[in-house]
Structure 1
């Protein structure tokens, strides 16, 4: 039944039979037959369908939660058996918000030193995408905000508190300031992360609280794009301190602390709640706690 549940999860995620079949590497008729067999086994209709996917039935929505749990348990069983025989091996998939990618790199590098037979895939995603990918079993863990928007039932390890910095070029009027107030940015030409990013929503809220309507001429999902615009001259961006220092290292740019920049939000490792975790994921959570302790 596990393979049929995997098919069901793929259809629920893609909301399209063709895309779901492609994601599993099987033909669409094979997928349709597998879903029909699962429905016959359970004795209920799981998916409304005519010529195309029509959504999950009420029973299908209930079955989706069970499918995630059963498939997750099945994967955990395989990992625990493999760890018993071979030690920690396999692959960890981590999705991180763009401003936390440096932390994802630190964590994977430290983990790899202790467990060289585990490989990593690291993706840049929004906080909303990270939670959905955790639900869909598409990633094993995420690095995201812990205290700004609801996370649901997850395991977390707080890594750091954001502290915001203004990034400007040496010719900027702010270049010699010791700090910059949010209200000081009124009328300035800004380049910021795109509006689907939680970091952008936080910055917009800080600006709004200061009575500033941001004049954003460039938006991007990439922090590299933002810093590149600042290097061209005349632009300003606001980034958390860690990623700002990493991207501006060796460049003729200035980092100015934002007023109350230390009152940021907590960012940390997020994993699906499960007792016990898989051996690899448990080791990752342990390494994250050790990394924070060492700092």
Structure 2
């Protein structure tokens, strides 16, 4: 068994296709299949359900896959730790961010890349629960999530700026002037929103309901880009983070402030406390502390 076989297994899980997994790993499909069969023989377990095409993993395969991710994360962490001891940072910083947070990760990534040119980044949009779960299982190095009910014995955090809310609209279709908008005004507008269950949506609903307002949403979606498309097309407006920079995406988008509007919980940078803790995560935290 070697690290490459585990990488092949993970690539197959992520692509769900033998040919695409082989292409991602820069090998031929017969080579990928042979190496996975070798792994099955070594473990004396069937891992993959095969037919005309990939048909998923067996029950033992799913369990081996979970261990493969853990082993590969430890291997990558070992490489990064060794490089950090030499004064360098290498590898991939895995960062998970909740949808519609006011935290823009790009300035942080720019600074890290400037200091450590060999560093790479993997950025995922995840729910608060997914971020904590993947931090705990060492599938993420850093999370940007809400600090409400955070288990401080398991996770270390660095508070970020408060997330304030604004109304995103296309000025070709709407005009709200310069004054902060009231929630009563918003309740009369055609609105789009993230589906219920996400923290930003819960905060928005709280602001409406605490004032006795029950807006009817024209569009609900779990994809932020669809919200942006609907707003840019003039179909509706959307409550968004005020300082998220979304109004800079095109010349027509504007963000109007909303009076007394912020999320229910504060946002923070989060990493696990227990070892093995990524050297990349610690470097990221240190840089954020310097600039906060």
Partner of 1:221: 224
Question: Do 2:11 and 2:25's aligned partners in 1 also have CA atoms closer than 8 Å?
Answer: yes
1:54 matched to 2:55 = yes
1:161 and 1:109 map into 2 onto residues whose CA distance is 22
Structure having the higher helix fraction is: 1
Partner of 1:8: 9
- Comparing 236-245 with 15-24, greater Cα deviation is found at 236-245
**Kindly tell me: are residues 66 and 157 of structure 1, through their superposed partners in 2, closer, same or farther at Cα, counting changes over 3 Å?**
farther
1:87 matched to 2:88 = yes
TM-score normalised by L of structure 1 = 0.72
Q: Which runs of 4+ in 1 moved over 6 A?
A: 132-139, 170-173, 248-252
Partner of 2:112: 111
1:59-79 C-alpha deviation (Å, 9 max, x unpaired): 222212211111111112222
Equivalent residue runs for 1:1-295 within 5 Å = 1-97=2-98, 99-100=100-101, 103-112=104-113, 115-121=115-121, 123=123, 125-127=125-127, 131=131, 140-147=141-148, 156-167=157-168, 175=177, 177-181=179-183, 183-192=184-193, 195=195, 198=198, 201-202=201-202, 205-206=205-206, 209=209, 210-216=212-218, 221-222=224-225, 225=229, 228=232, 235-243=236-244, 247=248, 253=254, 255-259=256-260, 261-271=261-271, 275-291=275-291, 294=292
Q: Unpaired runs of 5+ in structure 1?
A: none
How many pairs are equivalent?
Answer: 283
**Kindly tell me: are residues 63 and 246 of structure 1, through their superposed partners in 2, closer, same or farther at Cα, counting changes over 3 Å?**
same
Question: Do 1:127 and 1:198's aligned partners in 2 also have CA atoms closer than 8 Å?
Answer: yes
Question: Do 2:98 and 2:128's aligned partners in 1 also have CA atoms closer than 8 Å?
Answer: no
**Kindly tell me: are residues 116 and 34 of structure 1, through their superposed partners in 2, closer, same or farther at Cα, counting changes over 3 Å?**
closer
2:155 and 2:54 map into 1 onto residues whose CA distance is 30
- TM-fit CA distance, 1:212: 2.1
TM-score normalised by L of structure 2 = 0.72
Q: Unpaired runs of 5+ in structure 2?
A: none
